[in-house]
Structure 1
């Protein structure tokens, strides 16, 4: 009986020890949290922190562009009509060029239109055109690219904040210089992404419309105006040629006199031989 009671006592003692040791070991393990080993891990943690709160849905980011080419009977009237559409839709003429080819006179316009007025502007231009030689309208969805740039920008900003916190605690000059170097690199990346985001937002907010319109020079008009001008040009050309010939003769008069004297003596000599 003594051995049996002793055996039960040992079992109870061991079970009690195990119950007291387990909580203490769990407390020690849970009190430590390993920091991220590198910058990519820190970046992923920052992304997780950003993804945690529910963010509002970002509206679609669409880049719209159009290229138009058509013929017109009156360049000035067409330009005035386009300018009225520009004013009505709060657009701006970015480039304006005109010129003349062999058989037509043309004018090219590059116009920036607010995206919300893009369709209304195209409709206003199309009303006075019988047909388009070229009418290309394109749209590009850049929502995913916009979200990606925004996410990367926020991640870089959080990383910059962490380095600034570390910089406040640094004491060695070597550590301070190294941290400032990292901050400078991150700042350049932030500015580059801000520039990309600003450019993307500009293209989304304002659409680009290129318009080329021209007037063909009629062949009959060319014939009517060219016959008289050709005759007058021929008369002038003949007069100028005759004047140049006379001037050239006058300019070589000494040689003509010498030639005449030389020819006179030769002729006189031949006459003497005949006698």
Structure 2
């Protein structure tokens, strides 16, 4: 089972709404996936927090109004059932002279009615439930309605989140591919000084812009001009082809790459939708909360969700920018100067003098290294000589 499918099943896993096979697959996946473990902990914390919220007090007269309304609805359903029975009963009292085709149609209607009879029996059971409800005391009824409201507040946002996730998955095929295109060119050009103005006009004609540029001289006095160009993705191929032509010089190297970020982009959109749904849900809970502790907990969760939303939205904005505008880096450089085959006399003399100076430096360094040892030997020699004289 895929990672995204497991993430969609996590709320049902907490609600014990999965089959044994699905539950086993989720357990096995959680052992290896830290992201799903973290998401499961967040769902569990939210579930525990909402389950522990204080019950809402039922307004006065709520019981009587509900019971009265339920009784009226049950009576209406009972009346509709009786009237339907009378109609069917009347159909059997028709004269014998009715054509056979009409009798066949009546038989078909009777079969359809029998097939729908279980549903009518369930409606009859609702009346029994209503009578049992009247026998309960007020406290049990208040508790029943409070829990129902709590369950509704919890399950509705979770259902919406799962529906949004499933809808995003169904639309996978319809979403266009998200491709980031890049190119890196190195070009040799003799008249390199004029490239700046020419390149600016070329980029503007393709509705792009130069985002960065620099120039320098290397050790051989060669000029280098480097540009980073942002151009709409639709004009990427045209601009690369134009820069690679002989008009701009000799193309030395070319590297073109494409990165498919469709899956990451869809994942970001799904996670953003889920987080925004969670944020809306917590805001509703914040309006309902009355205790300071509950308000602080909800605000902490809102801050955490808002931080995650900003991070994901920032990444999505970056991808949108990279997808809509492709990047081309191009380096222009002068050709290397042609050197003569054999050095002249002056160059040979210069090399000889530089080598001689280098040798002198080495000798000086060697002597400087030996001086401390020579001084130590000299001290030992003078000490030995003075002692020998005293003995004589």
TM range (shorter): 0.5 to 0.7
1:150 corresponds to which of 254, 269, 273: 269
Q: 2 CA distance for matches of 1:117 and 1:109?
A: 17
Deviations 1:50-96 (A, max 9, x none): 53487592222110000000211110233333222111111111111
Q: What is the number of residues matched between the two proteins?
A: 207
- In the alignment, which residue of structure 1 is the partner of 2:256? 137
Distance change in 2, residues 1:208/1:52 (3 Å): closer
Distance change in 2, residues 1:33/1:179 (3 Å): closer
- In the alignment, which residue of structure 2 is the partner of 1:168? 287
**Match status 1:23 vs 2:142:** no
Q: 2 CA distance for matches of 1:20 and 1:220?
A: 102
1:109 corresponds to which of 227, 230, 244: 227
- In the alignment, which residue of structure 2 is the partner of 1:62? 179
The TM-score normalised by the length of structure 2 is 0.46
Q: 2 CA distance for matches of 1:26 and 1:74?
A: 97
Structure 2 unmatched runs, 5+: 1-120, 131-144, 348-392
1:215 corresponds to which of 299, 319, 334: 334
2:301 corresponds to which of 182, 203, 220: 182
Q: 1 CA distance for matches of 2:276 and 2:179?
A: 26
- In the alignment, which residue of structure 2 is the partner of 1:79? 196
Which structure has more relative contact order (CA 8 Å, sep 6+)? It is 1
Structure 1 runs of 4+ aligned residues shifted over 4 Å read 19-22, 24-28, 31-36, 41-45, 52-56
- In the alignment, which residue of structure 2 is the partner of 1:14? none
1:206 corresponds to which of 291, 315, 325: 325
The TM-score normalised by the length of structure 1 is 0.64
Deviations 1:249-275 (A, max 9, x none): xxxxxxxxxxxxxxxxxxxxxxxxxxx
Q: Is the 8 A contact 1:99 1:105 kept in 2?
A: yes
- In the alignment, which residue of structure 2 is the partner of 1:90? 207
Q: Is the 8 A contact 1:43 1:155 kept in 2?
A: no
Q: Is the 8 A contact 1:63 1:139 kept in 2?
A: yes
Distance change in 2, residues 1:52/1:196 (3 Å): closer
Q: 2 CA distance for matches of 1:71 and 1:130?
A: 6
Q: Is the 8 A contact 2:224 2:333 kept in 1?
A: yes
SS of structure 1 residue aligned to 2:334: strand
Q: Is the 8 A contact 2:178 2:265 kept in 1?
A: yes
How far the C-alpha of 1:174 sits from its partner, in A, is 0.8
Q: 2 CA distance for matches of 1:43 and 1:110?
A: 46
How far the C-alpha of 1:131 sits from its partner, in A, is 4.2
Q: 2 CA distance for matches of 1:21 and 1:211?
A: 77
SS of structure 2 residue aligned to 1:171: coil
Q: 1 CA distance for matches of 2:163 and 2:274?
A: 10
Q: 1 CA distance for matches of 2:270 and 2:123?
A: 46
Q: Is the 8 A contact 2:164 2:273 kept in 1?
A: no
Structure 1 unmatched runs, 5+: 1-18, 231-275
1:46 corresponds to which of 161, 179, 184: 161
How far the C-alpha of 1:20 sits from its partner, in A, is 8.5
How far the C-alpha of 1:21 sits from its partner, in A, is 11
